[in-house]
Amino acid sequence: MKTILMLILFSFCFGKIQAQDDIEITKNLVYAETNNKKLQLDIYKSKGQKEPYLIVWVHGGAWHSGSKENPPLGLLPYGYALASIDFRASTEKSFPANVHDIKAAIRFLRANALKYGYKSDKIIIWGGSSGGHLAALVATTNNDSTLEGSLGNYTSTSSSVQACLDFYGPTNFLTILNQSTPHGLNVRLPALAILLGKPLDQATELAKSASPFYQVDATDPPIFIVHGEQDIQVPINQSIELFSAYKSKNLKVQIEFVPNAGHTDPVYYKKDMMEKIDKFLKEIKI
């Protein structure tokens, strides 16, 4: 009952209103296993919808917390399905374990598209905050064997994504500290040390490997970036840097600055933003 109520409230607040009875939910699918953990995901679809494009949601939580529960469903009424995934926290295993997990989830989802009823040729990845960072990193490392990993039963299936939605995610770990507010530093320094397995000043090359900004090349998929102008948690310059890197390669990119919005503000998920995202995805033939 609690889950149903949360989904109704989320749909009401953050997009077109869609009754719970109209949503088909497949919970706790195991997409891979590590030595001590089953990695799971949930799939949300509008009932009766035939072969929608799939969005993979990557939750935030400073890389060390958060879960797949209560993902944003505002794009479902526009003709998309959504898979919300769990992955290993940085406190369980440092980078790149989380990227390995996410790419394993994408392989699982692509391999099982016919079974669960969505298209497999074009997959969209979406994340917020640290999840936005991970989404952008996965998107900018399509076909990168060093970040692929070998989890799951579908290692020969592609983990590539064809579009990315990056909501207020860090993108360049070598510049973020100088851009940060005191509040941001208090959160970020310990979080990055846990993510990378050592303090940032001792992990320059690893930090570059974990930064989407340094991974951008001419083969990367289109990206839609959203950032609040009053975000004191993740500096807005992080999104500007990724936008500029994309523009330098003549890649498809759109950035939306949200006035008066702080970090994780609910305004990011409201109807007008969902409509902009849908238009962007339609323009790139998704």
Query: pLDDT tens digits for 124-164?
Result: 999 999 999 999 999 999 999 999 999 999 999 999 999 99
Question: Looking at the 3D structure of the chain, how many domains does it have?
Answer: 1
Number of other CB atoms surrounding residue 78 within 10 Å: 18
Q: How many whole angstroms from its chain centre is CA 37?
A: 21
**For 192-229, how does the pLDDT look when each residue is reduced to its tens digit (9 = 90+)?**
999 999 999 999 999 999 999 999 999 999 999 999 99
Q: Is the pLDDT of residue 4 over 60?
A: no
User: Cα 189 to the chain's mean position, in Å?
Assistant: 22
**Is residue 6 over pLDDT 90?**
no
Q: Which helix (H) or strand (E) holds 61?
A: none
User: Taking CA 254 as the corner, what is the angle to CA 251 and CA 259, rounded to the nearest 5 degrees?
Assistant: 155
Contact (CB, 8 A) for 278 and 52? no
Q: Are 229 and 262 in contact (CB under 8 A)?
A: no
Q: According to the model, what pLDDT value does residue 109 have?
A: 98
For 145, the domain range is: 2-283
Q: In CATH, what number is assigned to the domain containing residue 164?
A: 3.40.50.1820
Report the predicted TM-score, pTM, of the whole model to 2 decimal places: 0.92
Percent of the chain scored above 90 by pLDDT?
A: 88
Instruction: Check pLDDT > 60 for residue 278.
Output: yes
Q: Is the pLDDT of residue 20 over 80?
A: no
Please report, in angstroms and rounded to a whole number, the separation of the first and last CA atoms in the chain: 34
Q: State the Cα–Cα distance between residues 51 and 156, nearest whole angstrom.
A: 23
Q: Tokens in use for 139?
A: 């998107």
Residues 258-271: pLDDT tens digits?
999 999 999 999 99
Q: With left for phi above 0 and alpha for psi between -120 and 50, is residue 246 left, alpha or beta? A: alpha
pLDDT at 3: 42
Picking from 163, 72, 183, 59, the residue whose alpha carbon sits closest to that of residue 119 is 163
23, 85 Cβ separation under 8 angstroms: no
At a CB cut-off of 8 Å and minimum separation 6, what does 64 contact?
89, 90, 91, 191, 194, 195
